[in-house]
Structure 1
Amino acid sequence: MIVQEVDDLGAIDIAELLTESKREGFRNIHRLVNDYNEGSNRFQHEDEALFECRVGHRVIGICGLNRDPHSNGSIGRIRRLYVLKEFRSHGAGRRLVEAVIHKASNYYSKLVLRTDNPKAADFYMKLGFKEVKGDVRITHELGFGCNHGCHASIL
């Protein structure tokens, strides 16, 4: 399994992710493709990224990092995590989120996400995220220990 940053979503084959996610009733990969094609989210800023997980030539998972639109730029948001069913519980999701955490820790004071899936919630809690109650925009967060954007740590 290899996790790497993707510069161009159109250059990788995520058809299998799209088909399976739709079949499971998840719309996040469909939204990823639509937002990318429309130009509303291309993970194009220095503090944003899109990561893929591959086994051989097969893309088995994807996960993005964006600036949280509801913050002043000091908070990152996990976006569009999806792993093919046959590869769940084999470390692909963990590796993708760890890549996002690593990138986010260079730019943000914390990382947030929203999920309504109990299995996903458990997954994030195992990775050190804390549950957030009473906020309609986020359900989980992970702090990085600085009170401002961590931009100063970048050389």
Structure 2
Amino acid sequence: MGNARVRATNRGRSSDHDRAGSQGRVSDVGLVAIEPLHDLTSSSVGELVAESERLGLRLVRRLADEWATGANRFDRPGEILFGAFIDGRLVGVGGLNIDPYAGDERVGRLRHLYVLSAFRRMGVGRQLVERVMKAAHGRFDDVRLRTNDAAAARLYEKLGFRRDIGRDDYTHVANLAPELRS
């Protein structure tokens, strides 16, 4: 269920014209496997840390540091960290925590979603979010997240998150238990 074929071209997207081989070569980069991560080492996540820092982002470094110190290992009830693998290579991560800002253990938080640039716009991020949300069902009533990235916001909104303006601790929320709300 967590696997899907990913195709890439020299322009980062695939079209029928590309598949015919006339423009840009399509290289089949294999199946995407979304799997729980039970051990995170600096070497396993190093490529993601390096690229994200080159782009001025600290979320993957924070993930690696918090894992190393034990501050956050996604090991409380309902928490999980997923990795996206293509041909054995870790190309993305995304996790689910109890939201530390909510004060309610039924509120989850999608955290540290990051996909290597070369694998974006191929469905890897979508698959990570879908796996996180599947894991959240039955455990959390809401899942929140915070993003300042417009492309990421569009992805989250396509996947059912709604923008919640005016909050300091989150920008988007997905309600998983609407029947429980009054």
TM-score > 0.5 by shorter chain: yes
Report deviation, 1:11.
8.5
Residue identity opposite 2:55 in structure 1: E
Match for 1:147: what amino acid?
L
Separation of aligned partners in 1, 2:59 and 2:75 = 19
- Structure ranking higher on relative contact order (CA contacts 8 Å, 6+ apart): 1
Larger Cα Rg: Structure 1 or Structure 2?
A: 2
Query: Partners in 2 of 1:12 and 1:23 — Cα distance?
Result: 17
Two-structure CA RMSD over aligned residues (Å): 1.4
The one-letter code matched in structure 1 to 2:147 is T
Paired with 1:90 and 1:66, the residues of 2 have a C-alpha distance of 25
How far apart are the structure 2 equivalents of 1:84 and 1:112? 23
| Percent of pairs with identical residues | 37
Aligned pair partner of 1:84 in 107, 116, 119: 116
Q: Distance in 1 between matches of 2:79 and 2:155?
A: 22
Q: Structure 1 residue 139 and structure 2 residue 171: aligned?
A: yes
Q: What is the number of equivalent residue pairs in this alignment?
A: 148
Q: Distance in 2 between matches of 1:141 and 1:12?
A: 33
**In the alignment, what sits opposite 2:106?**
74
Q: Which residue of 2 aligns with 1:93?
A: 125
Name whichever structure is richer in helix by fraction: 1
Q: Secondary structure at the match of 1:64?
A: strand
Give the distance between the partners of 1:147 and 1:86, measured in 2 at CA: 41
| Matching residue's letter, 2:180 | N
SS of the equivalent of 1:61 reads: strand
Q: Choose from 114, 132, 138 the match for 2:146.
A: 114
**1:102 counterpart (121, 130, 134):** 134
TM-score, scaled to structure 1: 0.91
